[in-house]
Amino acid sequence: MSFRLAIGLDDVLAARERLRDQVYYSPCARSEMLSKLTGHQVYLKLENLQMTGSFKERGALNRLSLLTKEEAARGVVAASAGNHAQGVAYHSTRLGIRSIIVMPLATPLVKVTATREFGAEVVLHGANYDEACTEAMRLCESEGMVFVHPFDDPAVMAGQGTIALEMMEQIAGLDAVIVPIGGGGLIGGMACAIKETNPNIRVIGVETARLPSMIDAIAAHEPVTVAAGTTIADGIAVRRAGSITFPVVDRYVDEIVTVEEDEIASAILILLEREKTLAEGAGAAALAALLQGKTSLSSQKNLRIGVLVCGGNIDVTLLSRIIERGMVQDGRMILLRIHLLDKPGALSDLTRLIAHHRVNIVNTLYNRAYYGVNLGDTAIDITLETRGREQVAELLKALTEAGYRHSRVE
């Protein structure tokens, strides 16, 4: 049985006119480094450069622009882990509309603070988005306000779809786009705009493996609720695909893949270190899929691929952990446990050897009672910063030749 989808190309085109001159036309530059690394022509669409640090303000603004005067006077309520919250808060304040945002208790502080600074009344409630959304709906009813859904709304989808219109203008001969998936509003709007303009362009979605709600929905032919899970990609941590977005995704999206937490973290680090671009977990998910060869595109070469970096609102504490963990995975930071005699000068001899190999000592910790240490000996845990695995191998060889008993602490 055929039915009309919630949005069409005309809706996205109309949204673009509403958003024109109010939302940043974000750059979509070719990355030389990523192109060499993948064998494709890779273009990064930098939606992390939006005023609120995320693509979400497109859909939020389009929805707010369609409010009647009576609805605008009542104000709006939204539930969000952060990015939708900031988009609603910023544009509501700019348009003179009261906004209340319900955010999960675990929302990164940077997103909570930014939402308040943009002028919204913030309510922290629930362990996840679903619980926050339930509270938002209750508030909406009790306060007589209008609910602005983060993804399951045709106007929101159409607003997000304007990204695709820009990418098709910015990348001549575009072959494919890779887009993160949470509830489906972003990829639904973009896929509609792309497929109704040029059906030959492939649309590939990426979910975190810990919350594959859209993949499970497609397998079940309807939205289903997946088990709760924690992920560094909190912007796409949605347990149930939207009932409005699902048919659009099912119709237009060619392929959906998943990425693991370490793969997302690695993509964040590559974007930061090599591209000088700050991305949050959800913002780096699309690139993670490409770099890890998760998509069908890996079997081809020299395609023109648009990769969406959809947000850059990452908590600095999480970022520091990602950087440190990435350095460990690359062999640029190691933790060694070294046994040595507990006598004057023993540590000096050890550090002299380490310094000779131009390795930097970051931290040390002595222990005389554990790790099978003999009486008269000690064990020292040393965190070291290196240039990479080759230098680590040289140092380990030197330690062995000097008679030190050592092991790597994982």
Please give the full DSSP string across 176-241, using - where no structure is assigned: EEEEE-SSSHHHHHHHHHHHTT-TTSEEEEEEETT--HHHHHHHHTS--BPPP---S-GGG--SB-
pLDDT at 368 over 70: no
What is the structure's pLDDT at 81? 74
Domain range list for the chain = 9-54+154-324, 56-147, 332-408
Q: Is the pLDDT of residue 369 over 80?
A: no
- Per-residue pLDDT, 375: 60
Range among 193-207, 227-241, 385-399 with highest mean pLDDT value: 193-207
What is the average pLDDT across 348-373? 83
CA distance 305 to 211: 25
- Rounded Cα gap, residues 23 and 151, in angstroms: 18
DSSP state of 343: S
Structural class in CATH, domain 332-408: alpha beta
For residue 92, the model assigns a pLDDT of 97
Taking all residues of the chain, what is their mean pLDDT, rounded to a whole number? 93
- Predicted local distance difference test score (pLDDT) of residue 1: 34
- Give 105-123 pLDDT, tens digit per residue: 988 787 888 899 999 999 9
Predicted TM-score (pTM) of the model is 0.88
Residue type, 286: A
Query: Using alpha carbons only, what angle is made at residue 82 by residues 104 and 260, rounded to the nearest 5 degrees?
Result: 85
Q: Is the pLDDT of residue 2 over 70?
A: no
Q: What is the mean pLDDT of residues 246-258?
A: 98
Tell me which CATH code domain 56-147 carries: 3.40.50.1100
Q: What is the pLDDT of residue 370?
A: 56
- Give residue 111's pLDDT: 80
Name the helix (H) or strand (E) containing 288.
helix 281-291
* Common-topology check for domains 9-54+154-324 and 332-408: no
Condensed to tens digits (0 to 9), the pLDDT of residues 7-54 reads 999 999 999 999 999 999 999 999 999 999 999 999 999 999 999 999
When mean pLDDT is compared across 241-255, 294-308, 331-345, the lowest value belongs to 331-345
Give the CATH fold of the 9-54+154-324 domain: Rossmann fold (3.40.50)
- The answer to whether residues 318 and 335 touch, using CB atoms and an 8 Å cutoff, is no
pLDDT average, residue stretch 347-372: 84
Q: In what order do the strands lie in the sheet with 377-385?
A: 360-367, 377-385, 333-341, 405-408
The set of residues, in sequence order, having a beta carbon less than 8 Å from that of 218 and lying 6+ positions away, is 249, 250, 256
What confidence category does residue 82 fall into, taking pLDDT thresholds of 50, 70 and 90? confident
Q: What is the mean pLDDT of residues 330-337?
A: 89
| The pLDDT value given to residue 128 | 78
